[in-house]
Amino acid sequence: MTAVIPRESAVHRIAAHITDRDVWLITVPPSLLPTVAEALGDVPGWLGYVDNGTGLILTTDRPMAIIATAVFIASTAVVAVPKTVPAAVLAEALGRDVPADGSQDLILLHEGGPIVWPMLFVEALDRVEPAVAAHLRANDLANLS
């Protein structure tokens, strides 16, 4: 499924996931977007929210849609993977440990250097934990994208 939705709808959906703790949320910087999209290809039920800084967000579960977007437009993503997917499946796809007990809701991906916080994630976090979002904005302003 691929659709373009208003940014506000994407923020609302991601904020609901943060509150409900029903998914793993993966933040993906521009440099890793194609690699992560391809790696998630065999993981069931995931949905990527691809953000290029506009008022519209691409939502998709198709790796090629994300890869094509990343080729033409610098983008970040927040990917939601339902916790019904075994942690071992997600860990294998991402090449990193994911606790099997579901206690780690947020998976921050980065390639050395500072973590890039997708603005879409920070906007959603602001709905649920405004103090934490304010802290990210104040301390990691250079790393927001």
Q: What is the pLDDT of residues 45-72, one digit of tens each?
A: 999 999 999 999 999 999 999 999 999 9
Q: Is the pLDDT of residue 145 over 70?
A: no
Q: Is the pLDDT of residue 141 over 80?
A: no
Distance of CA 82 to the CA centre of its chain: 12
Q: Fill in the amino acid letter for 124.
A: A
17-35 pLDDT per residue, tens:
999 999 999 999 999 999 9
Domain around 89: 2-143
φ, ψ (nearest 5 deg) of residue 143: -105, 15
Distance of CA 114 to the CA centre of its chain: 16
74-131 pLDDT per residue, tens:
999 999 999 999 999 999 999 999 998 878 899 999 887 777 889 999 999 999 999 9
The single-letter DSSP state of residue 40 is G
CA–CA distances in Å: residue 140 to residues 77, 106, 116, 125, 134: 17, 17, 9, 14, 10
- If one counts the domains in the chain, the total is 1
